[in-house]
């Protein structure tokens, strides 16, 4: 099911993927700026829910998000920080669609490229202070020709910005990432913890069992967003374990 945005005035919720990027050309021939000015003067606030062609109100997201891109390395001496590029930040549904429709689809990226969609202020690196105690859920699609990676990656991004991967008080999801490799595509979901309370969480921290339960719930929602079969498992591993193993695929802590 597509993620939804809350409609004003008690109207039915509308899927995020049906909200237009921006108003279409004004049929009256006036500029969009004039239309907004006139609308404001008349206190006629239009949203996409009641005027999809000439709306003048954006639909804010609960969080600010930043899109990052990792370009393919040119040689063994490439520095990760030089390959990782911050693309753009946004905080509304309309801005998301404007960005999405103007970047290269995942299926057309060069090998060893990555897209990262993270909450603003969080770098998609293990060393980031907000990531270093966390981990990630991940799944590898080995049959590249048999899947629609563009649709899957879009669905995961919509689940992330629509806040459908976790409950309001979980405070775990940091971002999502897609990796383009020769033999597979991999989509991951990064979390703030590995199920253990952090030092700054005193007074409201979870027990280890509660933390594991939260992560497993997130893993199941992530699995649903990937449209996987029940027999296909997503795996969770800690960033520290991955760093020690020298691989992005450390031994799984949890499976969903």
What is the SS3 assignment for 97? Answer: helix
Pair 184, 113 in one domain: yes
Q: How many CB atoms lie within 10 A of CB 79?
A: 8
Averaged confidence pLDDT in the chain: 82
- 177 contacts 124 by C-beta, under 8 angstroms: yes
pTM: 0.80
Which SS3 state, helix, strand or coil, does residue 74 take? coil
Distance CA 189, CA 170 (A): 14
Between 42 and 20, residue with greater pLDDT: 20
Which tokens in the block code for residue 123?
A: 């770098």
Local structure of 132: helix, strand or coil:
coil
User: Are residue 148 and residue 29 in the same domain, yes or no?
Assistant: no
Mean pLDDT of 40-60: 67
**152-177 tens-digit pLDDT:** 999 999 999 999 999 989 999 999 99
Rounded to the nearest 10°, the torsion over CA 167, 241, 118, 3 is: -40
Q: Are residues 48 and 134 in the same domain?
A: no
State the DSSP H helix or E strand holding residue 244, giving kind and residue range, or none if neither.
helix 239-245
Between 206 and 44, name the one with better pLDDT: 206
Average pLDDT over residues 25-47: 46
Q: Structure tokens of 173?
A: 């999801």
Q: Is the pLDDT of residue 72 over 70?
A: yes
Domain shared by 51 and 75, yes or no: no
104 with 175, same domain: the answer is yes
- Regarding whether 135 and 25 lie in a shared domain, the answer is no
For residue 226, give its domain range: 60-255
Sign of CA dihedral 130, 131, 135, 136: positive
Helix axes 149-161, 208-225, angle to 10 degrees: 140
Asked if 76 and 120 sit in the same domain, the reply is yes
pLDDT of 30 higher than 60:
no
pLDDT at 204 over 90: no
Residue 200 binned pLDDT confidence (cut-offs 50, 70, 90) = low
Co-location of 72 and 114 in the same domain: yes
> How much is the pLDDT for 31?
41
Lowest mean pLDDT among 70-84, 135-149, 204-218: 70-84
- The alpha carbon of 55 is separated from its chain's Cα centroid by a whole number of angstroms, namely 25
**Confidence band of 253 (pLDDT split at 50, 70, 90):** confident
Q: Which of 38-42, 87-91, 208-212 has the highest mean pLDDT?
A: 87-91
State which H helix or E strand residue 241 sits in: helix 239-245
What percentage of the chain has pLDDT greater than the value 90? 57
Same domain, 147 and 45: no
**Residues whose CB is less than 8 angstroms from the CB of residue 52 and which lie 6 or more positions away in sequence, other chains included:** 20
Q: Find, among 167, 216, 158, the residue nearest to 187 by Cα.
A: 158
120 plus 237 within the same structural domain: yes
List phi, psi (to 5°) of 190.
-90, 140
At 24 the pLDDT is: 43
Contacting residues for 5 by C-beta, under 8 A, at least 6 apart: 13, 14, 15, 16, 19, 59, 93, 162
pLDDT of residue 38: 41
φ, ψ at 233 (rounded to 5°) = -110, 140
* Count: domains in the chain: 2
Phi/psi at 151 (5° precision): -65, -40
How much is the average pLDDT of 235-248?
Answer: 73
Burial of residue 199, with CB atoms counted within 10 A of its CB: 0-12 exposed, 13-18 middle, 19 or more buried: exposed
pLDDT of 7 higher than 60: no
* pLDDT at position 10 over 70: no
The CATH number of residue 71's host domain is 3.30.760.10
Higher pLDDT, 182 or 203: 182
The reported pLDDT for the residue numbered 75 is 76
Whether 181 and 78 map to the same domain: the answer is yes
Same domain, 118 and 165: yes
Q: What are 68's strand-pairing partners?
A: 86, 116
Q: Would the pLDDT of 29 be above 50?
A: no
């Amino acid at each position: 099911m597509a993620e939804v945005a809350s409609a004003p005035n008690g109207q039915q919720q509308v899927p995020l993927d049906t909200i237009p990027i921006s108003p279409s050309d004004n049929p009256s021939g006036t500029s969009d700026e004039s239309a907004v000015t006139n609308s404001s003067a008349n206190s006629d606030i239009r949203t996409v829910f009641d005027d999809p062609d000439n709306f003048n109100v954006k639909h804010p997201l609960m969080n600010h998000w930043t899109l990052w891109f990792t370009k393919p390395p040119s040689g063994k001496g490439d520095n990760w920080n030089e390959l990782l590029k911050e693309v753009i930040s946004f905080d509304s549904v309309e801005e998301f669609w404007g960005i999405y429709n103007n970047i290269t689809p995942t299926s057309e990226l060069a090998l060893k490229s990555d897209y990262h969609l993270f909450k603003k202020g969080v770098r998609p690196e293990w060393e980031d202070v907000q990531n270093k105690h966390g981990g990630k859920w991940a799944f590898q699609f080995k049959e590249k020709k048999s899947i629609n990676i563009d649709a899957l990656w879009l669905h995961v991004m919509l689940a992330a910005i629509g806040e459908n991967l976790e409950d309001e008080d979980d405070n775990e999801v940091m971002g999502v990432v897609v990796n383009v490799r020769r033999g597979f595509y991999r989509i991951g979901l990064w979390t703030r913890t590995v199920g253990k309370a952090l030092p700054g969480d005193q007074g409201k921290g979870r027990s280890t069992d509660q933390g594991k339960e939260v992560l497993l719930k997130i893993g199941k929602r992530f699995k649903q967003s990937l449209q996987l079969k029940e027999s296909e498992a997503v795996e969770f591993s800690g960033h520290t374990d991955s760093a020690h193993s020298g691989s992005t695929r450390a031994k799984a802590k949890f499976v969903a």
